[in-house]
Amino acid sequence: MTERKITIITGTPGTGKTTLAARLAVTLSISHVDLPPLVEAEGLHLGIDDRGSRIVDLRKVRRRLRQLSRSSLGLVVSSHVPDVAYRSDVKAVVVLRLHPCELKKRLESLKWPASKVKENVAAEALATCLKEALMYYGEGLVRELDVTGLGVEEAVASIAKLVEGSRQSDRVDWLSRALEDEELAKLLAWL
């Protein structure tokens, strides 16, 4: 069995995956791979879907990440697609969660089309990335971190503790929180 060297940082677009993964890699003195540029640069895709997105060739991506992890001390991978590495290569999967109201503001500030904002806010509210990560990796490898209100350094420190096992995983349920959070309830009704 190979040494588990890959840490995956995943979550809905806009949660801070790339920024936090890059900073975590520096903190841990290991390599960072942002998956979309790797897929593009190395042709690790099967084509383009009807929405204009690359269809990731998971078999090729998993092989490439295994290869990269074997030639490094460790690897932090940022990707909104959580199941990009073989389970046997993964040390931990950290799913970043962000309050849907904050996510909506972030995506709108990036000038995303309203339909994409709505789609991604709904995905966050429904915990889509978390569910996908749990389906592929199981509860033993998956951790959850609510990054709402956290600065970059605080979030990176929390991720590092989650990966090493010295911090408890958050349990985020935006749908239940909407019962007490009027702003969130209004946003979810908008969806």
Per DSSP, 12 falls in state S
Pair of tokens at residue 127 = 């915990």
Check: CB of residue 76 under 8 Å from CB of residue 33.
Answer: yes
Of 150, 148, 172, which Cα lies nearest the Cα of 99?
Answer: 148
Question: What fold, for 6-99+137-172?
Answer: Rossmann fold (3.40.50)
Residue 77: per-residue pLDDT: 98
Widest CA span in the chain: 50
Using CA atoms, how far apart are residues 104 and 172, in angstroms rounded to an integer? Answer: 17
Strand, coil or helix: what is 115?
helix
Each residue's pLDDT tens digit, 90-146? 999 999 999 999 999 999 999 999 999 999 999 999 999 999 999 999 999 999 999
Q: What is the mean pLDDT of each run of 10 residues along the chain (191 residues)?
A: 85 97 96 96 92 89 96 94 95 98 97 95 97 96 97 98 93 95 92 82
Residue 2: per-residue pLDDT: 55
Domain boundaries, the chain: 6-99+137-172
pTM, full prediction: 0.94
